[in-house]
Amino acid sequence: MGAGDGLCDKMALTPDSAEDHAVTISRALLASAASEAKPKQFLQQLIERVGWSEIVKIGAIVLAALILVLVFKRYVIGRLTKLAEQTETDVDDRLVFFLSRLYKGLIAFVTLLIVLRILKVELTPLLAGAGIAGIAVAYASKDIIGNFLSGVFLLIDRPIKIGDRILIERIGSDWGSWGDVIDVGLRSTTVANTDGVHVTYPNGKLAESIIRNFSPNDDPIRFRVRVLVDYTVDAEAALEVLVAVARAQPDVLSDPPPKALLRSLYGGSSNATYDGALLELRCFVPDIRVRTSLRSRILLAIKKDFDAQGFAFAHPKVALQPEATVAREASNAAD
């Protein structure tokens, strides 16, 4: 017997096995036909129960809702945005921004109510059940609802808007952020900090925080740089150097002009860690975003000019104690 005969024997089917094989194939074909028929049966039952006219109405209403969203966005929101840009107040800007966030949800809600009415669904039991279930859902999701309401108030009051440079103070265990607002939503607000990281704050936390907004208007922002110099330095000459350095910076405004003053004198007490005079440079910048780089350039220029004129910075004060005093304090600590 050759190899071919052996293979034929293995592939040969007995009458019983052939019958079983045919039954298996038939069941598979029936299951496939049934699975293909399920969507058709469901559609047929839906048509028999609802009717073609109601289905056509539902399709027309959904299509009308989609068209209404597009029309409302293009003509109503677009037109209101252009009108708001022409006014000097920002009240209309807030209303347009708030409306642009809510109109899709309102249209979807009204569409759902109309569809349920066409399907002859009783809304009164649903509303009653929704009231009871709403209490449980509201309690379970009170943080989400609080963030939503805070987002509504943020959109209406609009203490911040997209593009503003803000500083959020620390809230509890959450550290604040210094950066630009890139999105104000109904649930959360996203800030891009100066490290390029996008930080998302729940609106409930944001509403409880102290926010410093550096971009509400076009007024210049005052910028300060402080240096501590030794008592041997001529304070008036050092102040002139600070003003000259500020005037040489292109980011510093000439109106109001920069000025420098003697802020305080340190030393003379045991608690002072430095002995020297504190000088402060005050100038104005058009954009707070240049603060960090401008501070670095000003400090580098001040150090260069001070080194050239022999002005010394203040050094930490070091207190020397006699050896006997140190030994006595160590003995008292041991007792």
Identify the top-confidence range among 48-52, 99-103, 241-245, 262-266: 241-245
Based on the domain organization, do 65 and 139 belong to the same domain? yes
Q: What is the DSSP string of 106-123?
A: HHHHHHHHHHHHHTT--H
With a cut of 60, say whether residue 217 has pLDDT above it: yes
* Longest distance between any two alpha carbons in the chain, whole Å: 118
For residue 25, being part of any structural domain is answered with no
For residue 256, being part of any structural domain is answered with yes
Task: Identify the burial level of 142 via C-beta atoms within 10 angstroms of its C-beta, where 0-12 means exposed, 13-18 middle and 19 or more buried.
Answer: exposed
pLDDT digits (tens, 9 = 90+) for 81-91: 777 777 765 55
Based on the domain organization, do 119 and 169 belong to the same domain? no
Based on the domain organization, do 120 and 90 belong to the same domain? yes
Which CATH number does the domain housing residue 189 bear?
2.30.30.60
Q: How confident is the model at residue 284 (pLDDT cuts 50, 70, 90)?
A: very high
Residues 6 or more apart whose CB falls under 8 angstroms from that of 101 comprise 155, 185, 186
Q: What is the mean pLDDT of the chain?
A: 75
For residue 330, being part of any structural domain is answered with no
Which of 80-84, 89-93, 216-220 is predicted with the least confidence, judged by mean pLDDT? Answer: 89-93
Identify the top-confidence range among 120-134, 214-228, 287-301, 308-322: 287-301
- What pTM was estimated for this model as a whole? 0.53
d(CA 5, CA 8) in angstroms, rounded, equals 5
Per-residue model confidence (pLDDT) at position 325? 55
For residue 125, being part of any structural domain is answered with yes
With a cut of 60, say whether residue 330 has pLDDT above it: no
Based on the domain organization, do 132 and 174 belong to the same domain? no
pLDDT digits (tens, 9 = 90+) for 142-163: 666 676 677 777 766 778 888 8
Nearest CA to 118 among 67, 49, 66? 49
Nearest CA to 192 among 160, 164, 153, 221? 164
DSSP-derived letter for residue 51 is -
For residue 114, being part of any structural domain is answered with yes
Q: Show the domain range for 260.
A: 221-309
Note whether 204 and 143 are within 8 A (CB): yes
For residue 167, being part of any structural domain is answered with yes
The domain total for the chain is 3
For residue 44, being part of any structural domain is answered with no
Buried b (16+ CB within 10 A) or exposed e, 154-169: bbeebebbeebbbebe
Domain ends where: 192, 213, 234?
A: 213
Per-residue model confidence (pLDDT) at position 301? 95
